Amino acid sequence: MKMYVGNLAWGVTTDKLKEIFSEYGEVDDAIVMMDRDTGRSRGFGFVTMGDSDAQKAIEGLDGQDFDGRPLRVNEARPHERSSRGGGGGGGGGGGNRW
């Protein structure tokens, strides 16, 4: 199961994220998402574990304080671009019509 982990403190590394979740079982994969322009953490990541271990981790870590911030841990859901309503916002260039 892939889990979303949000509200991470800026200093949390991928290794630290893996360490936190390994207390609940074997971690198959862990990553803290980084901003490609600044190289800083984006404050969230993903962890993949077996279903039963993941469920234990969700129950044990969701809402728990870590580095001064309450973690948000839940099952990751697929990103749906279509839910954003698609394309741009019109814009214009027609000047003032009034």
Segment 18-44, tens digit of pLDDT: 999 999 999 999 999 999 999 999 999
Predicted confidence at residue 97, as pLDDT, reads: 47
Segment 58-79, tens digit of pLDDT: 999 999 999 999 999 999 998 7
Domain range spanning residue 31? 2-78
Predicted confidence at residue 12, as pLDDT, reads: 94
Q: Residue 49 maps to which CATH number?
A: 3.30.70.330
91 occurs within a structural domain: no
- At how many degrees (to 10) do helices 14-22 and 51-61 cross? 100
Predicted confidence at residue 79, as pLDDT, reads: 75
Contact 32, 4 (CB under 8 A): no
Q: Where are the beta strands (DSSP E) in the chain?
A: 2-6, 27-34, 41-49, 65-66, 69-70, 72-75
Average pLDDT over residues 48-61: 98
